[in-house]
Amino acid sequence: MIAPMAASDIPSPPLPSPSVPVFPPGFLWGVATSAHQIEGAVAAREPSVWDAFTAEPGRVKDGSTAEVACDHVARYREDVALVRDLGVDAYRFSVSWPRVLAPGGLDFYDRLVDELCAQGVRPVPTLFHWDTPLAVEEAGGWQSRDTAFRFAEYAATVVARLGDRVTRWITLNEPAEVTLLGHAIGEHAPGRKLLFDALPVAHHQLLGHGLAVRALRAAGVRDIGIANSHGPTWAASEEPADAEAADFYDVLLNRLFCDPVVLGRYPEGIGELMPSADPVEDLRIISSPVDWYGVNYYQPTLVGAPGGDSGAGTEFGGLTLPSELPFAPREITGYPVTDHGWPVVPEAFTELLVGMRERYGDRLPPIVVTENGCSHDGVSDPERIRFLDGHLRALHRAVEQGVDVRGYFVWSLMDNFEWAEGYRQHYGLVHIDYATQRRTPKASYHWLRDALAARGA
Ligand code: IFM
């Protein structure tokens, strides 16, 4: 009798050799981070919703905070050197609105941008990556229309200071997560459980995006995008109830945030739920033309009709979902999973981009992949190498099928504070030892550096 194989006996697939597909000329390679997840230096900025949220017991799984995080404000030169040595063209970071509100807060970004330019790396700032200033939240936050206008004023302040050296700008990062995780189910800051009453949060962020586009244009900027998270939604079966639930989820995650920007209208049934005295004018602002459209892709979602109502929350992908939702995500089996529990499905990346091209046609601006990556622990990280290799090839297949893709940013340059997961997830190409702040490039960093260096060889 042959003994069954232990998991450790199953041979891993060989590591892909360091090479990346050939993308069209001008394709921009980059790595991404966000302010709250790496900066530290909290005393030199105003508090944000995430400071308040992490201070509440039980909100962050390992009880940690981003008070020090990667100590990036003090160590930015070392971090920029890591970006430069990787051989990418660009660095996507976010500007912390609460830091800009503090006296002298913009000085840090001035120094960071100078350093990037000096090292030959193109700065690509995002104006909002989830860290709403607490004072803005206390005045109503994204539930209030006024926040959209305050955001545009802040955008104008930042571009006035950095616009002489920064030419490419991103308005918002993942308004879907701020709406759904932050305001609908309360798993992220500010921790509200408004369910469908969270929809105004989406509208006000999108309005803020459109107003910020106008503020940036008024300052002469010609290279603007938004970073939205998208993924294909798969119905759990062909049963009408599952198909309907999957369709609903697709509207919430994908179309609610893309249709208004690209088409200037909300998906059917959504517009009338949005708070606005003048919806036509709001949508005109929201659809102010962007120069490219940022896609953050991580995984597809398998969705079915909700099961029996036990009253208990369902655990899914690290989140606790309320049982009242009209859809139920299901586990995707048959694929590797990351430490975050997310399935690794490169072909769904092609499906997503080709699907967007089919849905929006010529109205779809050129795509920039503003985030893609995975959580795996360890400095030896063959899983991340396979993930990057597989997703870059999947991206190339989308290009071959006619999708206009202009850039790709890996999430993330370095391990960092992964929101409600704390420091339990490791998305970086660079390992951070949080006790010493020592940076160690992982095997995946070396792989990507060698692959980029081999282009055209
Ligand atoms: O770390 C986050 C990032 O802030 C936004 N996009 C998804 C990443 C991984 O969860």
Backbone angles phi and psi of 247, in degrees to 5: -60, -40
174 ligand 1 Cβ < 6 A: yes
Q: The whole model's pTM is what?
A: 0.96
Span from the CA of 279 to the centroid of ligand 1 (angstroms): 31
Contacts for 283 with CB less than 8 Å, ≥ 6 apart:
260, 264, 265, 266
Note down pLDDT in tens along the chain; length 457 residues: 444 444 455 567 789 999 999 999 999 999 999 999 999 999 999 999 999 999 999 999 999 999 999 999 999 999 999 999 999 999 999 999 999 999 999 999 999 999 999 999 999 999 999 999 999 999 999 999 999 999 999 999 999 999 999 999 999 999 999 999 999 999 999 999 999 999 999 999 999 999 999 999 999 999 999 999 999 999 999 999 999 999 999 999 999 999 999 999 999 999 999 998 899 999 999 999 999 999 999 999 999 999 854 445 677 777 888 888 999 999 999 999 999 999 999 999 999 999 999 999 999 999 999 999 999 999 999 999 999 999 999 999 999 999 999 999 999 999 999 999 999 999 999 999 999 999 999 999 999 999 999 996 6
- The yes-or-no answer on residue 174 being catalytic is yes
Residue 318 confidence (pLDDT): 79
Among 417, 379, 356, smallest CA distance to 94 is for: 417
- Distance from C-alpha of 445 to C-alpha of 449, rounded to nearest angstrom: 6
Q: Is the CB of 371 under 6 A from ligand 1?
A: yes
What pLDDT sits at residue 320? 82
Give me the pLDDT at residue 308, please.
Answer: 55
Q: How far apart are CA 27 and CA 63, in angstroms?
A: 40
Q: Distance, CA 6 to ligand 1 centroid (Å)? A: 34
The secondary structure of the chain, three-state, reads: CCCCCCHHHCCCCCCCCCCCCCCCCCCEEEEECCHHHHCCCHHHCCCEHHHHHHHCCCCCCCCCCCCCCCCHHHHHHHHHHHHHHHCCCEEEEECCHHHHHCCCCHHHHHHHHHHHHHCCCEEEEEEECCCCEHHHHHCCHHHCCHHHHHHHHHHHHHHHHHCCCCCCEEEEECHHHHHHHHHHCCCCCCCCCCHHHHHHHHHHHHHHHHHHHHHHHHCCCCCEEEEEECCCEEECCCCHHHHHHHHHHHHHHHHHHHHHHHCCCCCCCCHHHCCCCCHHHHHHHHCCCCCCEEEECCCCEEEECCCCCCCCCEEECCEEECCCCCCEEECCCCCCECCCCCECCHHHHHHHHHHHHHHHHHHCCCEEEEECCCCCCCCCCHHHHHHHHHHHHHHHHHHHCCCCEEEEEEECCECCCCHHHCCCCCCCCEEEECCCCEEEECHHHHHHHHHHHCCCC
Instruction: Tell the residue number behind the tokens 């499906």, with chain if given.
Output: 351
Q: Residue 3's pLDDT is what?
A: 47
Pocket of ligand 1 contains residue 296 by CB under 6 Å: yes
Joined together, the tokens standing for residue 251 give 């509207």
Cα 371 to ligand 1 centre (Å)? 8
At 7 the pLDDT is 45
Nearest C-alpha neighbor of 71 from the set 436, 431, 429: 436
CA 317 to ligand 1 center in whole angstroms: 13
Class of domain 7-456: alpha beta
Q: Which is catalytic among the residues 137, 174, 187, 418? A: 174
Single out the catalytic residue among 39, 137, 351, 371.
Answer: 371
The per-residue pLDDT for 13 is: 79
Say yes or no: CB of residue 425 within 6 Å of ligand 1.
Answer: no
Domain ranges of the chain: 7-456
CA-375 nearest atom, ligand 1: 9
* CB of 415 shorter than 6 A to ligand 1: no
Closest ligand 1 atom to 416 CA? 1
Residue nearest atom 10 of ligand 1, based on CA coordinates: 418
Our answer on whether the CB atom of 115 is closer than 6 Å to any ligand 1 atom is no
Measure 308 CA to ligand 1 centroid, in angstroms. Answer: 31
Q: Are strands 122-128 and 90-94 parallel, antiparallel or unpaired?
A: parallel
In the numeric block, which tokens belong to residue 374? 């995975």
Nearest atom, ligand 1, residue 371 CA: 6
Distance 417 CA to ligand 1 centre (A): 10
